[in-house]
Structure 1
Amino acid sequence: MLELEAERIAHGGIAVAHHEGRVVFVADAIPGERVLARVTDDGHDRFWRADTLEVLEASPDRVPHVWAEASVDRAPERRAGGAEFGHIAPVRQRALKAEVLRDALSRFGGIEHEVLVRAVDPALAPGVRADGTGWRTRMRLHVAEDGTVGPYAARSHTVVPVASVPLAVDALAALAPLADRFPGAVSIDLIAPSGDFAQLVVSDGERMPRGERPVTTEIVGDRSFSVDRDGFWQVHRGAAATLTEAVRDAVDADRFDPRAANLDLYGGVGLLAAAVGDRFGDTMRITSVEADERATAHAGANLADWVGARAVTARVDRFLVQLESDAGAGERARLRDATVVLDPPRSGAGREVVDRIAALRPRQLVYVACDPVALARDVGLLRQHGYELEHLEAFDLFPSTHHVEAVARLAAIV
């Protein structure tokens, strides 16, 4: 056992402490607290990992955990995972997330930039509670060998029985079969689309046949989006509307040319391309690129209101290689006038994609990111190509967790 003083929050939501000169990453502690912790991993020369067992000196920002089954009062191996900030007052949660993003931009992006993480506007997220609960419209429960249902314990693959799922929207919380058993099943998905009824899907681990994927409807403002029931969609009830507004506002109108070869990379079912189109009109030209064939098919239909919109099924890196290879002088000029929106996976766009985008020299980039370090790394790479960060907004789309979403605009500096 160690007595540790938590100093700051690291990327990943774990507090940083020191013991006899060694870094200790300790879960379930808040910076400024003194805790009694048990080391769980001492196999590294430079750091250890530990779990908080008891809070000796509590932060004024410590609150009763929003999920009793994830509380520090439980043994670490019995704490439900997925709500690692649920013991922290929401205002402090957002401040800690801002610190992580600001630090990442400094260390990996080479820039000092002020960051404010904003709560989702309640008007965009009906039913979501200010205490960091009631926001998840999609969640997965796992099934143990004996059929017991529950989330995994934090940082493990052990199924933990629970009596509640407070992060879920009310429709999913009511639907969750927490007291039932499902022998032979692997997982249970709960989905509450904004334009459809709440659904429970039991999976035995077998992949669903391509032709049998059910489709649901999501509503964002006045628009409807078709998306596969098991396809990607933003999890927070107000996330799609929040990002629609943020991306629309992030585009610099003075740099936007509706006739340019505008791009929506990692475009999914076309949510962000539609956001740009709603601002700049139905003659806007934009190509949405997505590797998932089903998502691309939905994007084609979802973007049908724009005569210049098209959806392409391709890996983004391969699409950019082909685009550069095939572009004639006229298309190269239209690419230089372009706005590029990109919403890459958690790992970020990466060097190859960043290099390919920069080679096309678009006027501006609007980058949507769910990982601070990946965003900062890509910002640093883009700065090497002469792009600078001009605009940054961050949103608390994952309350009671360490995750944060950011929307950044970078522009080519002539």
Structure 2
Amino acid sequence: MGEHVGAELELEVSNVAHGGVFVTRHEGRVVFVADTLPGERVRARVVDDAHDRFWRADTIAVLTASPDRQEHVWAEAAVDRAPGERAGGAEFGHIRPGRQRELKRQVLEENLRRMAGVDRPVPVAALPGPEDGTGWRTRVRLHADEDGRVGPYAARSHRVVEVADLPLATEGIRAVAPLGHRLPGAQGVQLIHPSTGGARLLPAGEDAGEAITERVGEREFRLDAGGFWQVHVAAAATLSDAVSRAVDGQLFDPAAANLDLYGGVGLLAAAVGDRFGPSTRITSVESSPRATEHAHENLADWVGATAVTARVDRYLSRLAGSASKAERARLQRGTVVLDPPRSGAGKDVVRSLAALGPAQLIYVACDPVALARDLGALVRNGYEVTSLEGFDLFPNTHHVEAVAALVRT
């Protein structure tokens, strides 16, 4: 612990930074402060001074409030609680919803401009649901400490805090959440609320071999209860529509070697297939064998659709190194949809995509920095960004989803 940790500072907050914190300066040094917003004057306590270039601090009192500050949507995460007792997962809950989306837009645009050289507006759209951004989470993980107490982790820590409510969760999850109970010996619980079948509770890290059904429009998707699915109740439909719209129909070739990378149980491959018809050829690539099994079933309506269990980087590397001339031609006419994890696709995947040279890419991202890094590399390798949309899939948090379309120049 450094000599400044614990010191209290009065700070004028100037800007938003990636990661749900805000920027100010103290005696020339950058300080990243949580639980505030631009235009506020706060008293903050230093919690990390290990870096030469910046410190980190927690707001402990608001001296001059922004007009965009609101009563926190989650009482147990509010600034009037001690920082170590504030529940994590709602770090923007003290900011009115419209301002939250404006801040997310700013973070998206700044990172794209700085890292990718892409200078264009990226509006962030609200999803259907309550205006205050509550009631949307269909997946929640609660942890249990060594005494069996159940709750979320405190913000920026792995310490369990007990809470009386989960306002971001659906009503179904709130009804089955074991808040106030003890689970001795357990790691925690997963709470899921699929669009069919009602909310349920699973041991943390397990799915008990149970399959569930999620409905998106008129289509149903089977997946393991503990498997990945979009968390916001309206996210799957929103992203399916966004990806379908982002594909340039004049460049799309149903007979080409189209790919859905990090394909999960086939949600976005199905969105492409629904737009372009049952003869659409598309291969979903996913590292989880169970998800691939479900994708086979979920994509059965398209005679040219298939699902492959493979790591995306290795799959593309093999294609780039061994594809025949005819296969390369089909790949170059192809459309690639990719929805990587928060860390992004990364340099190996981008390098292989650039070598294969598909006609268009549809990149779905949940991290602005990873998106900007990968788009920058793709632009340097002969692609042009033709459209960008942002979506507020995670209200009352700093997270934001984006869908980018790129074409080969």
TM-score tier after normalising by the smaller chain length: over 0.9
1:12 matched to which residue of 2? 19
2:95 matched to which residue of 1? 88
2:154 matched to which residue of 1? 153
C-alpha change, 1:87 and 1:208, in structure 2 (3 Å) is closer
What whole-Å deviation, never above 9, does each CA across 1:343-373 have from its counterpart, x for those lacking one? 0010101111001011111110000000000
The answer as to 2:130 corresponding to 1:129 is yes
Alpha-carbon offset, residue 43 of structure 1: 1.6
Tell me the distance in 1 between the aligned counterparts of 2:310 and 2:147.
42
Do 1:196 and 1:218's aligned partners in 2 also have CA atoms closer than 8 Å? no
What whole-Å deviation, never above 9, does each CA across 1:154-200 have from its counterpart, x for those lacking one? 01111111100000000001111112111111111100011222111
Tell me the distance in 1 between the aligned counterparts of 2:30 and 2:295.
47
Tell me the distance in 1 between the aligned counterparts of 2:320 and 2:63.
60
Tell me the distance in 2 between the aligned counterparts of 1:318 and 1:150.
38
Tell me the distance in 2 between the aligned counterparts of 1:327 and 1:224.
34
Tell me the distance in 1 between the aligned counterparts of 2:59 and 2:171.
31
Alpha-carbon offset, residue 2 of structure 1: 0.3
User: SS in structure 2 opposite 1:377?
Assistant: helix
Do 2:389 and 2:402's aligned partners in 1 also have CA atoms closer than 8 Å? yes
Alpha-carbon offset, residue 401 of structure 1: 0.0
**Greater alpha carbon shift after TM alignment, 179-188 vs 302-311:** 179-188
Tell me the distance in 2 between the aligned counterparts of 1:238 and 1:219.
11
The ranges of structure 1 where at least 4 consecutive aligned residues each deviate by more than 3 angstroms after the TM superposition are none
Do 2:206 and 2:226's aligned partners in 1 also have CA atoms closer than 8 Å? no
The answer as to 2:240 corresponding to 1:244 is yes
1:62 matched to which residue of 2? 69
- Structural mapping, 1:140-289, within 5 Å: 140-203=141-204, 208=206, 212-289=208-285
Tell me the distance in 2 between the aligned counterparts of 1:353 and 1:8.
33
Tell me the distance in 2 between the aligned counterparts of 1:196 and 1:385.
46
The answer as to 2:27 corresponding to 1:26 is no
**Greater alpha carbon shift after TM alignment, 13-22 vs 40-49:** 40-49
Tell me the distance in 1 between the aligned counterparts of 2:120 and 2:311.
32
Tell me the distance in 1 between the aligned counterparts of 2:206 and 2:178.
22
The answer as to 2:92 corresponding to 1:72 is no
User: SS in structure 1 opposite 2:395?
Assistant: coil
Unaligned ranges ≥5, structure 1: 123-127
Report how many aligned residue pairs link the two structures.
Answer: 402
User: SS in structure 2 opposite 1:81?
Assistant: coil
What whole-Å deviation, never above 9, does each CA across 1:281-313 have from its counterpart, x for those lacking one? 000000100011110111010000000000000
Tell me the distance in 1 between the aligned counterparts of 2:206 and 2:51.
41
Do 2:269 and 2:284's aligned partners in 1 also have CA atoms closer than 8 Å? yes
Do 1:119 and 1:396's aligned partners in 2 also have CA atoms closer than 8 Å? yes
Tell me the distance in 2 between the aligned counterparts of 1:104 and 1:266.
23
Unaligned ranges ≥5, structure 2: 1-7
The answer as to 2:327 corresponding to 1:326 is no
The answer as to 2:399 corresponding to 1:403 is yes
Tell me the distance in 1 between the aligned counterparts of 2:195 and 2:159.
31
